[in-house]
């Protein structure tokens, strides 16, 4: 986990909301989200929000809106 006293700019990495930061487009996320279904997984997809830049509720809602169309 990043050091709690550092700002996002001072950390080696920063957790971001799904669909923001690195891998922002569906070109990265569609295969990532679709891979479990390809091997028969048909259950829950959980979103963990550790984005220090966005409000927690807003971040989870935004991630869900981004992921929903990618689910098979």
Tell the residue number behind the tokens 């927690």, with chain if given: 56
Q: What are 22's two structure tokens?
A: 């690195």
- Nearest Cα neighbor of 68 from 22, 28, 20, 19 is 19
Handedness of CA 13, 14, 15, 17 (dihedral sign): negative
62 within 8 A of 19, measured Cβ to Cβ: yes
Q: How far apart are CA 52 and CA 64, in angstroms?
A: 18
Q: Whole-prediction pTM value?
A: 0.72
Q: What is the pLDDT along the chain (72 residues), one digit of tens a residue?
A: 555 667 767 777 778 888 887 666 788 888 988 999 999 999 998 888 888 888 999 999 999 999 999 886
Q: What is the pLDDT of residue 40?
A: 94
The pLDDT assigned to 39 comes to: 95
């Amino acid at each position: 986990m990043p050091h709690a006293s550092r700002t996002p700019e001072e950390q080696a990495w920063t957790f971001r909301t799904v669909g923001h930061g690195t891998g922002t487009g569906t070109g990265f996320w569609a295969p990532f989200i679709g891979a479990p279904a390809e091997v028969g997984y048909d259950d829950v997809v959980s979103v963990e929000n550790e984005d220090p830049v966005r409000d927690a509720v807003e971040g989870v809602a935004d991630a869900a809106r981004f992921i929903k169309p990618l689910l098979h």
